[in-house]
Structure 1
Amino acid sequence: MAETFDHGGGIRSVRVPIPDNPLGHTLVYVVDTDRGPVLIDTGWDDPGAWSVLAEGLRACGTDVSGIHGVVITHHHPDHHGLSGKVREASGAWIAMHAADTAIVRRTRETRADRWFTYMAAKLTAAGAPEEHIAPLRDPAPRAGLPGFSPALPDREIVPGELLDLPGRRLRAIWTPGHTPGHVCLHLEEEHPSRLPGHGRLFSGDHLLPEITPHIGLYEDPDDATVTDPLGDYLDSLERVGRLAPAEVLPAHQHVFTDGPSRVRELLAHHEERLAGLLGLLAAPLTPWQLAERMEWNRPWEQIPYGSRNIAVSEAEAHLRRLVKLGRAEAVPGSDPVTYVAVDRA
């Protein structure tokens, strides 16, 4: 049975399940406009999730076929997965930031073999053991991979501009970090309960009440640009904190108030984590070795294969930030490359 909630002021949400994922669900928001309801995110592409979304929309007084548009905070499948089905059922437009639209386009055009080869090379460079890399070289799992072709958006979300939602004032705030094109959406309207603050913020995965989003490398097999996702995220956090919204409507967990306080907690968390990593880097470590020693939600031995890849990407993002800040450096001549803290005494 679909769980829905009325947030007042023509905003409702549907809890759309994510199969086999500890996050549990994506909060899909239904925003009333003068041309019909618009969704913010859509949920995972799964038959059960689709049924819950459809049921939830009916409970909200509408129907999938009546959706006017879909606004996507970022390209991840628990947010963008059902967008294509919604568009097929309703004729709705789909809007996304250009940086994440480029990832969607690349995902649709890149053969699976290219991704496997790229990931094997990345993990080798990160110092992953051969037993972890070997499955990526084995053609057997490739044949069993399901096709993944995310819907190509047909509208661009332009940072700083109001979205074309008649009767609403919803402004796009570019918040890269979790993905290069992640956006938060600032509803510049008085809170229906007149809570103190400036409107409401649909925060996607950028600002969550109790957990921190994954910040890893921006993966692109055809782009060697050295990005700084963690630096992007921290800068974006400060920008969102300055908005001081009355209420934050995230894509996971639950709605909360006092966004600036949560921003301060996250900034402090990442500073503490960077400091902790410097302690680990008293001796040279590869990104894989650093990931093994970092604190996760479970011991390294219990982290599944795919999650280890995500963990290594997060370790690399933190290393890039430390290097950019001049607090760590690569050890010349090391292969795979190791990193060590810089003595600032």
Structure 2
Amino acid sequence: MAQVSDHGGGVRSIEVPIPDNPLGFTLVYVLDTDRGPVLIDTGWDDPSSWDALAEGLAACGTSAGDIHGVVITHHHPDHHGLSAKVREASGAWVAMHAADISVVRRTRATGPERWYAYMADKLVASGAPEEHVAPLRAARDRRRGPAGTGTDSRRRLPGLSPALPDREIVPGELLDLAGRRLRAIWTPGHTPGHVCLHLEERHPARLPGHGRLFSGDHLLPRITPHVGLYEDPDDAGEVADPLGDYLDSLERIGRLGPAEVLPAHLHAFTDAPSRVRELLDHHESRLTGLLTLLGTPLTAWQLAERMEWNRPWQQIPYGSRNIAVSEAEAHLRRLVKLGRAEAVPGSDPVTYAAV
């Protein structure tokens, strides 16, 4: 049976499983409104996840067909994956920040072979060894094979056909939810359009602080959200600073001081300012440690190999290594922007050194 928790004040959460993922589940929140229930995120697009969501909604006294609207914190498939099914069942609107709507639109329009080619090129530029890049080249070439393989490949890859949202979340504004005060706060970093959602209502248990915060993946207990590069195969020039975006966003949330944080993973918690400070200190410590590593010029791949992860580099799975390299690159960009590191002129692939 689906695990459902009642957080009081017309807010409940449902644990929707993420298949084969150490996070285990996404917490999908059910927010009662005067026009019917609204979901905050929907969970992974998988039959077992859909069944868990349906069971959880039934335990809440409702169903997918009764959903009035869906508010998505960010475009990742463990949050946005089931939005299309919920909309098909109910006719619900789906809302997302414009920056992540752009990602969804681009993803829907870009064939998998383009993503494979883009990822291969990025990894080569990062200094990845050929044996790591070769599977991506092979997958790209298979996508150019016989007719019919495209649909099958797209079905196997999560998140390549996400629902296109039909409403835009505008930062700073209250969402159109009858009888509730839910304000959007733009918190880029984990994705370019990530939003937290501030429920500007007194905490049902009268905890001290300012309302409750649906924090998505921005602010989590015990774990640090992944902050990598904002991927865009069509981006030829702009150099974003996702880690800088994330740190700035964290400070805004710390100043907000919500009474309770309702994250998308793990469990609810209090004292958001302390958790924000822990994360700010963690990233500052990590940046300082990377500068020590960059006493010798390193590529992004070499830096990722030497960074501290939750397991030795040799034990990190293939896909997770790609994520780790993206995170290393985000930290490099931050160091370069701060003037604490620089690219070594003439290096190919590019190496970076502390200044």
Shorter-normalised TM range: over 0.9
Structure-1 residue corresponding to 2:186? 174
Structure-1 residue corresponding to 2:172? 160
Q: Could you report, residue by residue, the CA deviation over 1:55-106 in whole angstroms, capped at 9, with x for unpaired residues? A: 0000011111000000000000000000000000000000000000000000
Q: Could you report, residue by residue, the CA deviation over 1:14-39 in whole angstroms, capped at 9, with x for unpaired residues? A: 00000000000000000000000000
Give the letter for the 2:190 counterpart.
H
Higher alpha-carbon deviation: 154-163 or 116-125: 116-125
Give the letter for the 1:243 counterpart.
L
Mapping 1:188-227, distance limit 5 Å: 188-224=200-236, 225-227=238-240
Q: 1:145 aligns with which of 149, 153, 170?
A: 153
Matched residues in 2 for 1:110 and 1:90: separation? Answer: 28
Structure-2 residue corresponding to 1:60? 60
Matched residues in 2 for 1:87 and 1:32: separation? Answer: 17
Matched residues in 1 for 2:154 and 2:75: separation? Answer: 18
Matched residues in 2 for 1:264 and 1:103: separation? Answer: 30
Aligned to 2:154, the other structure's residue is in SS state coil
Q: Could you report, residue by residue, the CA deviation over 1:150-179 in whole angstroms, capped at 9, with x for unpaired residues? A: 000000000000000000000000000000
Q: Is the 8 A contact 2:43 2:81 kept in 1?
A: yes
Query: What runs of 5+ residues in structure 2 fail to find an aligned partner?
Result: 144-148
Structure-2 residue corresponding to 1:240? 253
Matched residues in 1 for 2:142 and 2:329: separation? Answer: 26
Aligned to 1:88, the other structure's residue is in SS state helix
Q: Is the 8 A contact 1:191 1:246 kept in 2?
A: yes
Percentage identity across aligned positions?
82
Q: 1:262 aligns with which of 256, 272, 275?
A: 275
Structure-2 residue corresponding to 1:289? 302
- When the two structures are aligned, how many residues end up with a matched partner? 342
Matched residues in 1 for 2:135 and 2:266: separation? Answer: 34
Q: Could you report, residue by residue, the CA deviation over 1:116-143 in whole angstroms, capped at 9, with x for unpaired residues? A: 1111110000000000011111146644
Query: What runs of 5+ residues in structure 1 fail to find an aligned partner?
Result: none
Matched, 1:25 2:33: no
Matched residues in 2 for 1:137 and 1:22: separation? Answer: 28
Q: Is the 8 A contact 1:135 1:141 kept in 2?
A: no
Matched residues in 2 for 1:210 and 1:18: separation? Answer: 19
Matched, 1:92 2:100: no
